[in-house]
Every structure is written in C-alpha cells, then in structure tokens.
C-alpha cells in the first residue's frame, strides 16, 4: 500500500529506507499484523541496488536523452544492467502487496525520542510531517566513500555510483570516460558501460593487484560466496575482452582541466606516468555505512579498522545502544544486498518480539539470518582487504578540496592540526568545513583521516563530526508547515558518543 502522505501519525514500527533491508523489515512486520510506516526519499522502492527497478521492468527499453550523454535506448535494460538488478523484483512486489504505509519521496531530516516513542520528521513535496513509532528501524544503507583528489570538483567528474544512477534512472551513459579508484562497484559499472555501448577509455585501479595474505586468510569464508566471486572473474574477463586499458597501483592521481575535466594524470605500478585525455571521470573508492541518522541520535558507534569507517554498535538482533532503535543492512556496516534483506528480516523479528508479538515460530529462521549476516560480514572483510581505500595508502594532496560545500582544502585542515586541533569538530569551528548543505556527510571521514595522519594518532581516536538536525536542507516553509502536524515534544537521546572532541 503506497500513501500519498502519512494520514496516520502513529505507528508501532517506523522503517527508514526502502532498500533490501527496509523492504524486508517492513513486509516481515506487516505479515505479523504490525502497523508499519516505511519512509524513503526516492520516488520508488529499491534502495541503491534496485533503484528505479519498478520503472525499468525486465523487458522495457532503457530510454535516455542525448547531449554529452549517449542515449542507450534500443538496448534492453537487462542487457545493460545485468540479471542481478532484476533479482530485486520479488522484494518490491511483496512490498507493494503488503499492508505497509509506504511514503515515497519522504526525506527524513530529524529522528528523536519522545519518552518511550521514536519521533521521525520528514519532508515531502515541500511539506514537513512528524510521525511517531514505538520502534524505529534505520535502514538508510550505504554511500560511496569520498575520494578527494586534485580536480575532483570539476564538471565532468562523477562517482561511479552517480554514473550508475543515471544509467538506472534515465538510461544515460557516456563514452570517452576514465574510471579511477577501487572496489567491486567500479568494475561492475565498467561492465555496464561496456554493455551500454560506451566502453571506458581506461580503468585505473588504486589497488596493487592481488593481496595474497587476504586471499590466504579469508579464502575459506570467501568460497562460501563463490557466486559473487565468479561474477567478479566474469567482470574482469568482460573488461579485458572489450580492450579497456587497465592500470593498477595508481598514485599521485590528478584530474586535469580548467573549467571541466579534460584528462587524468597519475603514476602506476613501477612508477611509470600516464596522461589520458577524456571528457568524463568516474571515481569510486568503496562504500561506507550511511550513519548520519544513527550519529544524530548519538547512538554508540565504533571504528572498524578493517574497513576504515565508523559503524553503529548493534547486537545480534540489530538493536542499537538505544533499545527501541535498530539498524539494519549496509547502514550497520557493509554486508551487501542479499544479507541486507536477511538483516532487515532479523531486525524486524527482534523489534516485533519487543513489541509483544509472538515470534517463537521464527527462531530457526532467526538463527539462519544471524549466520548469513555473520558470513556476509566476513566476506566483506575479504573484499576490504582486496580493495583497500586510497586514504590508507596515500595522503590527501594539499591543494585538494576536502569540503566541497565550503571549499575547504586539505592544506587548511592540516594547518588546523598544526594549530592544535585534535578532532573534526574543532576544524569545523576554524574553517566551516562540514557546515554546508551536506552537513559533513562527504567530508567527515576525510577530515578525520587527515587529522589522524597529520597528528600521528590512530584513526579510531579521532572521532567524527557531531551531527545535528536538520540532516538534510529544509526550507522555512517546510518548518512552518510542521504547525499542521500535532505537536510532539522531541528530545535527543543521551547515550554516549565516543571520541567526540566537541565536549
């Protein structure tokens, strides 16, 4: 059931995010007769991986506009995006048939607590609404790790994820591009570009090829995931067969151009330099959990030294340090789409139990889900070792813009460290970095990494930006429209937030 606006304002369960985790959580709860509201800022369900899937359809043609971007109309969507994209259809169909109050286009910008209840405020079509729920599941997924390089703010530079969004939503692809970075999504996107008839000019991997130690240590777990491994090998062979120039061990990367990207220069294995002309650059440095909502609630988070990111601390049932708030899917630490759906179900069953539903009959499923999620986390550790992020191997060059919103460079952050800054919140006060429209979502991790490197301190001791609502930009009119919603006194949780330098 899809709602135009939330007619009811009170639910037993609120799920934020309609990706695999959120869809599975919401439909599992609905199966038990629980009143559940599912919110997502996208116009259709599917999350990142199955974005726009309900509009694409397996036999539809991908339509697109022309201009700099090539119209891929005439090709079957399945031909370009691959079968894996369409494997999300059953989840989406189940959701549309379920008794779930689903609000699409709902951008959540505040989550708080009112006594025992969670309170969620969101905007939709310039109107803000506030709803309450006895339990909240945050399934806000992942985002791409920022990859700050000289020139990365030039027009013509996109992340691989953004390029993939254009392909999924509008059937747009472009040739004369160079792909740089590392991680499975970079290779996946390269094959999608090839299949859309837009072969990239080059793929420049910042990694150094096969990490034999990772393979030896984690191969037994990885073999459980032989299907994605085989997919990976098939992607490599497609890229090779297409004749894409591939380089590895890239360092000192610069994106060239005055008013827009015109090329890439870097060194690659053996210290050799390359200079490639291109019109578009797609960057990717892996994915990290989107923790903006969980951090705004000051839930407990921990540093994951294998993945090099902060993740929320949750128990086996996906419950956070606040008993009526759970975190499922990639937002809890990267686990991939299949395990995210399992994790969503698991989070839902745990929440249902605490809401008083009889979930005894599900105990076998619950154990299966816990095991599946555990294996997925180990597989992701394997991938993290194979594809280490650039920030772990190379310092950010001084002239690189770190905070795109406030145009703060790496040199300015380094200067803050010289002046005695010990954490991201102090640099915010000195330079305004993290204070723009993205609220530090894209620069936070980079700022923390620069501080750690410059002050020679372990990354886990540096902390994160303190996140405050509104999490996304809201207009005065949207704030004023809240007067139409019954008043609810909201307050933030008081759970401890580790390593916060702002106190």
Ligand X SMILES: Cc1cc2nc3c(=O)[nH]c(=O)nc-3n(C[C@H](O)[C@H](O)[C@H](O)COP(=O)(O)OP(=O)(O)OC[C@H]3O[C@@H](n4cnc5c(N)ncnc54)[C@H](O)[C@@H]3O)c2cc1C
Which residues are at the interface with ligand X (CB under 6 A)? 16-22, 39-42, 47-49, 106-108, 139-144, 161, 164, 185, 188, 287, 290, 329-331, 336-337, 340, 471
Smallest distance, ligand X to C-beta of residue 281, A: 16
Pairing of strands 202-205, 245-247: parallel
At 97 the three-state DSSP class reads helix
Q: Is 299 exposed, middle or buried (0-12, 13-18, 19+ CB in 10 A)?
A: buried
Q: Which is nearer to ligand X, 332 or 359 (CB)?
A: 332
Q: Which is nearer to ligand X, 336 or 424 (CB)?
A: 336
Smallest distance, ligand X to C-beta of residue 336, A: 5
Alpha helices (runs of H) in 171-205, residue ranges in sequence order: 184-195
Listed residue (80, 88, 17, 78) closest to 49, CA to CA: 88
Give residue for tokens 């204070």. Answer: 435
Smallest distance, ligand X to C-beta of residue 168, A: 8
Q: Which is nearer to ligand X, 329 or 444 (CB)?
A: 329
Q: Which is nearer to ligand X, 89 or 452 (CB)?
A: 89
DSSP state string for 328-351: -GGGGS---HHHHHHHHHHHHHHH
Smallest distance, ligand X to C-beta of residue 140, A: 4
Q: Which is nearer to ligand X, 12 or 144 (CB)?
A: 144
DSSP state string for 222-286: HHHTHHHHHHHHHHHHHHHHHT-EEE-S-EEEEEE-SSS--EEEEEETTTEEEEEE-SEEEEEE-
Q: Which is nearer to ligand X, 118 or 329 (CB)?
A: 329
Pairing of strands 325-327, 309-312: unpaired
> How far is 392 from 346, CA to CA, in rounded Å?
33
Cα–Cα distances (Å) from 125 to 41, 122, 477, 487, in that order, read 11, 10, 11, 20
User: Which residues, including other chains, have CB under 8 Å from residue 457's CB and lie 6 or more apart?
Assistant: 451
Q: Which is nearer to ligand X, 19 or 146 (CB)?
A: 19
Smallest distance, ligand X to C-beta of residue 215, A: 21
Smallest distance, ligand X to C-beta of residue 63, A: 19
Please report which helix (H) or strand (E) contains residue 368, including its range: helix 363-386
Q: Which is nearer to ligand X, 19 or 200 (CB)?
A: 19
Smallest distance, ligand X to C-beta of residue 270, A: 32
Q: Which is nearer to ligand X, 47 or 444 (CB)?
A: 47
Smallest distance, ligand X to C-beta of residue 283, A: 12
Q: Which is nearer to ligand X, 109 or 247 (CB)?
A: 109
> How far is 258 from 261, CA to CA, in rounded Å?
7
Q: In the 8-state DSSP scheme, what is residue 461?
A: G
Smallest distance, ligand X to C-beta of residue 259, A: 27
Give me the torsion for CA of 381, 387, 389, 392, rounded to 10°. 80
Phi, psi torsion values for 428, nearest 5 degrees: -60, -45
Smallest distance, ligand X to C-beta of residue 115, A: 23
Please report which helix (H) or strand (E) contains residue 84, including its range: helix 83-86
């Amino acid at each position: 059931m899809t709602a135009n606006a939330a007619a009811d304002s009170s639910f037993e369960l609120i799920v934020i995010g309609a990706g695999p985790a959120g869809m599975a959580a919401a439909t599992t709860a609905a199966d038990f007769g629980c009143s559940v509201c599912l919110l997502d800022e996208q116009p259709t369900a599917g999350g990142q991986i199955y974005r726009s899937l309900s509009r694409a359809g397996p036999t539809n043609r991908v339509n697109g506009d022309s201009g700099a971007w090539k119209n891929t109309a005439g090709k079957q969507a399945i031909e370009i995006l691959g079968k894996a994209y369409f494997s999300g259809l059953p989840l989406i169909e189940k959701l549309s048939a379920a008794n779930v109050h689903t609000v699409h286009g709902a951008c959540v910008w505040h989550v708080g607590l009112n006594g025992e209840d969670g309170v969620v405020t969101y905007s939709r079509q310039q109107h803000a609404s506030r709803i309450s729920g006895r339990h909240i599941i945050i399934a806000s997924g992942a985002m791409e790790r920022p990859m700050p390089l000289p020139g990365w703010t030039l027009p013509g530079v996109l992340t691989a994820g953004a390029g993939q969004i254009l392909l999924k939503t509008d059937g747009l692809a472009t040739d004369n591009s160079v792909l740089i970075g590392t991680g499975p999504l970079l290779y996946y996107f390269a094959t999608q570009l090839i299949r859309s008839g837009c072969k990239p000019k080059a793929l420049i991997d910042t990694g150094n090829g096969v990490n034999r130690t990772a393979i030896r240590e984690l191969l037994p777990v990885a073999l459980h995931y032989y299907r994605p491994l085989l997919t990976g090998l098939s992607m490599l062979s497609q890229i090779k067969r297409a004749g894409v120039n591939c380089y590895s061990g890239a360092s000192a990367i610069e994106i060239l151009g005055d008013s827009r990207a015109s090329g890439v220069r870097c060194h690659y294995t053996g210290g050799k330099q390359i200079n490639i002309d291109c019109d578009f650059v797609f960057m990717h440095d892996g994915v990290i959990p989107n923790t903006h909502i969980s951090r705004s609630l000051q839930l407990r988070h921990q540093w994951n030294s294998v993945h090099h990111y902060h993740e929320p601390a949750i128990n086996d049932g996906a419950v956070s340090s606040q008993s009526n708030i759970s975190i499922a899917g990639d937002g809890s630490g990267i686990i991939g789409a299949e395990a995210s759906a399992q994790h969503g179900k698991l989070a839902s069953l745990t929440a249902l139990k605490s809401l008083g539903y009889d979930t005894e009959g599900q105990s076998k499923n619950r154990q299966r889900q816990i095991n599946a999620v555990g294996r997925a986390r180990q597989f992701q550790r394997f991938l993290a070792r194979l594809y280490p992020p650039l920030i772990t191997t190379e310092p950010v060059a001084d002239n690189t813009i770190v905070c795109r919103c406030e145009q703060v460079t790496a040199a300015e952050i380094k200067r803050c460290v010289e002046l005695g800054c010990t954490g991201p919140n102090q640099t915010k006060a000195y330079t305004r970095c993290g204070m723009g429209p993205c609220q530090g979502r894209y620069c936070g991790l980079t700022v923390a990494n620069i501080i750690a490197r410059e002050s020679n301190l372990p990354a886990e001791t540096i902390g994160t930006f303190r996140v405050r609502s509104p999490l996304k930009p809201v207009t005065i009119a949207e704030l004023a429209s809240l007067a139409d919603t019954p008043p609810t006194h909201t307050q933030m949780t008081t759970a401890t937030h580790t390593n916060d330098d702002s106190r």
